Chains A and B, each alone.
Chain A
Amino acid sequence: MSDTGKQMMSPAMAAERVAAGLAARRGREKRFRIYGRIAIGIALAFLVTLFVSIFSKGIPGFFQHYVTIEVALDRAKLDPAGDLSVQSLYDGDARGVIRTALYEAAGASGRSGRKAAGKIISQGAEQRLRNAILDDPSILGTTRAMTFAVDDDVDSFLRGFIKRETPEKDRRINDKMIGYIDVLNDKGLISFRFSDYLVFGSASRNAEMAGIYGALVGSILTLAVCLVLSFPLGVATAVYLEEFAPKNRVTEIIEININNLAAVPSVVFGILGLAVFIGTFGMPRSIPLIGGVVLALMTLPTIIISSRAAIRAVPPSIRDAALGVGASRMQTMLHHVVPLAMPGMLTGTIIGMAQALGETAPLLMIGMVAFIVDVPGSVTDPGTVLPVQIFMWADFAERMFILKTSAAIMVLLAFLILMNAAAIVIRKKLERRW
């Protein structure tokens, strides 16, 4: 079409030429649309596969098998010191009391029979019994039906993962145990119900006792520290850079560096945390306080960038009007610009927090990728976070951990979706258009 500039085409010729090219142009557009659809289709297929595989394993992970037995709560055996203290209950023979009840229910006798039957019940049963007594000491001296989790191997058997047909030597549970499980099952003592361990339990090497509570508390504490540090700092930085800082070489360099910082791999912040907080300040490892600080460094650029965009979106007429009626620049900022920019700032903050919730790499360096059983009570107690818990569980050999891993992934996904949904709601509700 380079010759069109020199010679004027007649309208008829031009129309003809356009008509000739039209089919090709439309075809190009159509093809592009098809490519787009295929790409989206592939992405959706992957997403569906991911969800199906997580949900098919994760939903059963929310449930597990329990056995209900009649336990005679003999005070002399359970509370030898007689003062109901934690130590006295620990010294008591909770294990023996539970075993006796179990042998009776399953009809186990003889040394090997008792040994086999004993393996049916989770090791966590003793702790559960002690907790029940601490909650209500009046149950001592009575006989009552109590429900305990079964061992993870027994659970796998009841789910059908370990098959009866498999030769005995290749199974993790022997024929004797299967016999007792059948006895308990026939009596209707075994139930499949919602796993309270998953929600209220902490990390454990016994798959049936493992839960996300400790990691969830750790995540909340870490994110709280992260939010307290990064939100005010991020907003203040954005306000200063956008409204007060002189536009010169120095602020330009700072700006470029903030943008670069947003792209730095997160593990680098972990190394920084290790060197500065643990190395220089000598703070203990594995604590949510340092985890939060490190994650705050990581989320700061996200918050600053989105806050600046939000401030820039506030029309200058607002500022002019405020200044016109005699407000100082500080008042203009705090009374008018920042409140109007707040929805955008909050959106950025929530997305930054959601990112921080899913991080493990920076926490590796500061010792939060660890097996931590005790639930952290404050930001200076050792704690871990949800994604780390998932990572650790995925590596354990016991089969039940696969289910629990998927269940924990579902919980993490639920939190992420919740946070992102909150960001959308805030934006929709509070956003103002000019």
Chain B
Amino acid sequence: MRFTFALAGAVALVGVTTAASARDYISIAGSSTVLPFATIVAEQLGNNPSFKTPVVESGGSSVGKKGVCEGIGTEFIDIGNASSRMKTGELEYCDGNGVDLTEIKVGYDGIVVANSKDGVPLVISKADLGMALTAMVPACADGSTNVNCTDMVPNPFKKWSDINADYPDVEIRVYGPPTTSGTRASFAEMVNEKGYCKKDEMAKAALKAAGAKAKTCRAMRTDGAYVEAGEQDNLIVQKLQEDPSAYGIFGFSYLDQNSDTLHGAVIDGTNPTFDEIAEGSYSVSRSLYFYVKHAHVGVVPGIAEYMAEWVKHWGEDGALSDAGMIPMPEAERAQYAAAMKDLPKLTADMLK
């Protein structure tokens, strides 16, 4: 009897397998930074009785960009989310699989350095912030003489005040995301590399002497000054609330939600506020994108409507800005709203 039960189970399995071929919901995957916003839009579309709510998977920007390029057919995702722009190499993978995409920028996300309101606020230049956190610095960066200035040494700074007496007399301890995170990659690129290594004369000279690229500066300190606190930004927020001497790196939306207990560091004279990021004067911010597959538009129901939902909510007063996404300027919004209709094919030239 038990064996007939098993047999019935197997038969049922085959039965439902054949039934489950067509997909009537949108499948989305990618960046965990875009996910909180994409899910808001997905939920709005799901409120419309004509459409099922899209399924939004996490996984990271690379999963989004690669996943959408993997092929055409309902077993592949329709839309890939990314918090970094597609690179030409990634686009080649797409072309190789015969997938045409349109790139839609949806808004911006600020990356903030914050600490508890009980602690000393940090007012710092981007170059110094990079110098405090990058793994290797020129030997005389800390003002020491009798050393070869073009030698790279492990970061010697213990306290913020070691860099500049105006900075807080507090040990450098910054909680941040691990290497798998897009937030970390963007921070390292914008602050360590572009803010410090490509600006600071001493660092440029040392890198040149070593024949190294500025990219090497993206490595974060591993001597305890930079502490990997896991992918969960909420965890970092909790740690900062418990320990006023520590600082943390995370997305703006988390600062926005906890603005009563945390304050953001002023970087290059600008406060990480909604308006400053939106105007572009707060420089540590990045664009959020999604990539939509042409071949699936009109095949999987609701893709055009899903994109239209973004337009409804990505404005200054929309649900997305309420959740911490920084809206694009009016002109840019109009440009991408038009792209949703025309679906221009993403080419390598556009990425340059």
Contacts and interface: CB of A to CB of B under 8 A. Distances in A.
Nearest to B29: A367
A28 interface: no
B53 A166 contact: no
Interface string B235-270: 000000000000000010110111110000000000
B47 interface: yes
Contacts of B3: 232, 236
Contacts of A206: 43
A284 interface: yes
A281 B12 CA distance: 16
Contact of A229 (B9, B19, B35): B9
B50 A289 contact: no
Contact of A285 (B13, B53, B75, B254): B75
Contacts of A287: 20
Among B3, B40, B257, residue most surrounded by chain A Cβ atoms (within 10 Å): B257
A286 interface: yes
A420 interface: no
Interface stretch (A74-82, A101-109, A142-150, A377-385): A377-385
B27 A228 contact: no
Interface in A342-371: 364, 367, 369-371
Interface in A110-164: 123, 126-127, 162-163
A286 B75 contact: no
Interface in A206-243: 206, 225, 228-229, 232-233, 235-236
Interface stretch (B54-62, B99-107, B182-190, B333-341): B54-62
B16 A398 contact: no
Interface in A288-337: 289, 293
Given A373-B43, A397-B254, A402-B234, A170 B260 contact: yes
Contacts of B251: 397
Contacts of A394: 232, 234
Interface of A, secondary structure class, is: loop
Contacts of A235: 2
Interface residues of B, number: 54
A86 interface: yes
Among B5, B23, B46, B55, residue most surrounded by chain A Cβ atoms (within 10 Å): B55
A86 B53 CA distance: 16
Interface residues of A, number: 53
Contact of B259 (A127, A171, A378, A395): A171
B260 A373 contact: no
18 contacts: A90-B49, A166-B260, A229-B9, A236-B2, A278-B75, A282-B73, A282-B75, A289-B20, A293-B13, A338-B2, A371-B35, A371-B39, A374-B46, A374-B52, A394-B234, A398-B257, A398-B323, A402-B234
Interface of A: 86-87, 90, 123, 126-127, 162-163, 166, 170-172, 204-206, 225, 228-229, 232-233, 235-236, 278, 281-287, 289, 293, 338, 364, 367, 369-374, 378-380, 382, 392, 394-399, 402
Interface of B: 2-3, 5-6, 9, 12-13, 16-17, 19-20, 23, 25, 27, 29, 32, 35-36, 38-40, 42-43, 46-50, 52-53, 55-59, 73-75, 77, 231-234, 251, 253-254, 256-260, 319, 323-324
Nearest 7 interchain pairs by C-beta: A232-B6, A373-B53, A380-B20, A370-B57, A86-B49, A371-B56, A228-B9
Given A284-B74, A398-B257, 12 more contacts: A171-B259, A232-B5, A233-B6, A236-B3, A236-B6, A281-B17, A284-B20, A286-B57, A287-B20, A371-B42, A380-B16, A399-B257
